[in-house]
C-alpha cells in the first residue's frame, strides 16, 4: 500500500472492504437452499427478528468506522479502529458458518481488520 496515502484514508478504505464483504456474505447466503430453516434452528427460542436486530447493530460498526476513521483525532481514532476491529472479528467468527463462500469472505474480512489493527497500532501522531 502506498505509504504516501493518508492513514485515515487507508483505514476508511479497509472498512469499506469489510462492509462490502459482510453484505455480500449475507446476500450470497440467501441463495443457499435450506438456509432459512438453519437460521430458525440456530435461533432456537430467540425470535428471528431479534437476531436480525443484532446483525443490523453489528453491521453499523463498519458503516460508522468508514466515516469516523476520516474525522476523529489521532488518539481516539486509533482506539476506535482497534476496538471496532476486535469486536467485529469476534462477530464475524462467532456468527459465521462453515459454508465455503462464508469462510472465504470471513477470511478476507478478518485479514482486513487485522490490517486495520496493525495500521492503527503503528500510526504515529506525526502522520495524523
In a domain, 40, yes or no: yes
Specify the higher pLDDT residue, 40 or 111: 111
Give residue 72's pLDDT: 97
Which percentage of the chain shows pLDDT scores above 90? 67
In a domain, 46, yes or no: yes
What single string gives the DSSP state of each residue in 17-39? HHHHHHHHHHHHHTTSTTHHHHH
Which residues span the domain enclosing 101? 7-127
Give residue 3's pLDDT: 60
Q: What are 68-100's pLDDT values in tens digits?
A: 999 999 999 999 999 999 999 999 999 888 889
Q: What are 96-108's pLDDT values in tens digits?
A: 888 899 999 999 9
Domain tally, the chain: 1
Are 58 and 66 in contact by the 8 Å Cβ rule? The answer is no
> Residue 123 — pLDDT band, cuts 50, 70, 90?
very high
In a domain, 2, yes or no: no
Amino acid at each position: 500500500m502506498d505509504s504516501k496515502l493518508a492513514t485515515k484514508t487507508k483505514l476508511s478504505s479497509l472498512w469499506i472492504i469489510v462492509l462490502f464483504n459482510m453484505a455480500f456474505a449475507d446476500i450470497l447466503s440467501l441463495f443457499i437452499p435450506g438456509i432459512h430453516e438453519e437460521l430458525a434452528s440456530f435461533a432456537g427460542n430467540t425470535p428471528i427478528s431479534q437476531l436480525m436486530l443484532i446483525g443490523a447493530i453489528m453491521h453499523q460498526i463498519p458503516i460508522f468506522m468508514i466515516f469516523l476513521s476520516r474525522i476523529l483525532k489521532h488518539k481516539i481514532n486509533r482506539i476506535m479502529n482497534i476496538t471496532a476491529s476486535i469486536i467485529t472479528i469476534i462477530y464475524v467468527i462467532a456468527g459465521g458458518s462453515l459454508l465455503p463462500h462464508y469462510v472465504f469472505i470471513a477470511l478476507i474480512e478478518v485479514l482486513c481488520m487485522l490490517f486495520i489493527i496493525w495500521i492503527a497500532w503503528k500510526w504515529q501522531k506525526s502522520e495524523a
